[in-house]
Amino acid sequence: MNLWAPELKQRIAHEKRPSVAALDTEVTEISDGDTLNFDHLKVQVIAVNHLPVRHAFGFIFETSEGRLAIIGDKLTALHSLKRPRVLICLCTKY
C-alpha cells in the first residue's frame, strides 16, 4: 500500500475525515487459479479477457449450497465454469 500513500494522504486532507480507520486495509495479491477460503465460502480466481486491461479477473463463489460466478468475459464463462447456478456476465460494447 506504500504505492497509494500519497493518494491516501490527499484524500484524508481533502475529505477531512473524522476517522481514517476505514482506510486501514490489508491487501492480498491474487493470480489466475488462486483459491481464497473464508469460513464456509470458497472463492476461485480466474483470468478473463478484458483487453486492453491486463490482469482482469472473474470470481466463482462457492458454498455447500451452490455456486455464483461473476465474470465479464462471456467466452471464459462458457468454457471454464462447472455449471454455476447463477452466472453474472456483463458484456458491454464500447
pLDDT value at residue 17: 77
DSSP secondary structure letters along 8-74: HHHHHHHHT-S--GGG--------TT-EEEETTEEEEEEE--BTTBSS-EEEEEEETTEEEEEES-H
pLDDT value at residue 43: 94
pLDDT value at residue 67: 81
Q: CB-based burial of residue 80 (10 Å sphere; 0-12 exposed, 13-18 middle, 19+ buried)?
A: middle
Q: What would the pLDDT profile of 49-63 be if each residue is shown by its tens digit?
A: 777 888 888 888 889
pLDDT value at residue 88: 62
- In the predicted model, residues of the chain with pLDDT beneath 50 are 94
pLDDT value at residue 73: 65
The secondary structure of residue 85, as a DSSP letter, is S
Amino acid at 57: F
pLDDT value at residue 78: 56
